[in-house]
Amino acid sequence: MNVTLYSEGCRSLIEYLTMEQVGISLDERRRILTELFEDPDLSKWLEAYASFIPDVRRITFDLMLNLDAPLSDKGSSSFFEIQRHGFLSAREEGRECMMQKLSRAEAMDYEGMEETVDRYLPPNTPLDLDIYLTIDGFNGGMFRERSVFLSILGVDPEALSIRGLAHEAHHAGVLYWFKRNERWRRWMSEGGPRLLGAELLIYLVAEGLANHLITPRAVSLVERPRSEREEGHNSRVQMLEENYTRLVTSIEDIVKKALNGELDAAREEFKEFSMDQSGVGLPAGHFASARMVAEILNEHGESIVVDLIENPWTLFAVYNDLTEKTHNFSREVVDFYSG
């Protein structure tokens, strides 16, 4: 595993968010922020969101220019409200604390995570990663191709687990094998139901495996919660647990709607499934796919993990063959993926 770390953009972002506001005019803030937005690290992070929020750069600029002002652009407002909360949290924690978090994140054993990641990938999976440290209230971690973005907001300056980063690195490894799968590449280029089906498949496999095997705490109750954030996390986990059967059934609904020509409705349901607009940071799909993987591993050895990465088309058939399962996927869904 080869890792290149980028943290200077995050350092500049901390300097901007925590700078003394008194006596600095709006024009001066605009000048400083314009310079910040030329930073390649920040630009790379914003680019990661541009595929589903085309105006993310412009709106983020306006938001950061005056964090205390209401949003003038209501498009994707919940996303930006969550990001605003993250920026304000960094400002409230102050420069010293945020720099300590950054230093702790810079000092992580990035090479040491290789053993954790490799355990749950096919042998000889090549991983060359660019890791960008940032301040992101919406996503604690995300990846695009070989780029991994890690928010320092949740970093404990005294201790930091490498597992959150290993989670994203594992995604990159899963993507490597999916992109070698000729059928998956063809589906991704076709559009229509097959494009959505391909996106849903890699989401379920990648998030299910990473959340259950590498970061199970992300989808589990926190024992003795010590903060409002942890209490909010527990409330969401409890809600998702109560609705687990419905969540698994919704996977079938997404596929069937796509096959019936209701692509817009299917995409909207997939968006709700795969993104958390509550601000907690736990999408319903992360929880549901992790639970499905747990059910599969209750009846299979760990080798099934590599099997699902190398041949993901069997996911629904494997799940249906379980003795104990939450939902029995229809023949229509199984045939769509295995036919």
What are the domain boundaries of the chain? Answer: 2-151, 181-338
Cα–Cα distance measured from residue 90 to residue 67, given in angstroms and rounded to the nearest whole number: 12
Residues of the chain with pLDDT under 50: none
Q: Say what the pLDDT of residue 329 is.
A: 97
| Radius of gyration over every alpha carbon of the chain, rounded to an integer in angstroms | 21
Model confidence over 94-116: pLDDT tens digits?
Answer: 999 999 999 989 988 877 788 88
What b-and-e string marks burial along 65-98, b requiring 16 or more CB atoms within 10 Å of the CB? eeeeeeeeeeebeebbbbbbebbebbbebeeeeb
Model confidence over 233-277: pLDDT tens digits?
Answer: 999 999 999 999 999 999 999 999 999 999 999 999 999 999 988
pTM: 0.86
Q: Say what the pLDDT of residue 65 is.
A: 92
Pairing mode, strands 2-6 and 128-134? parallel
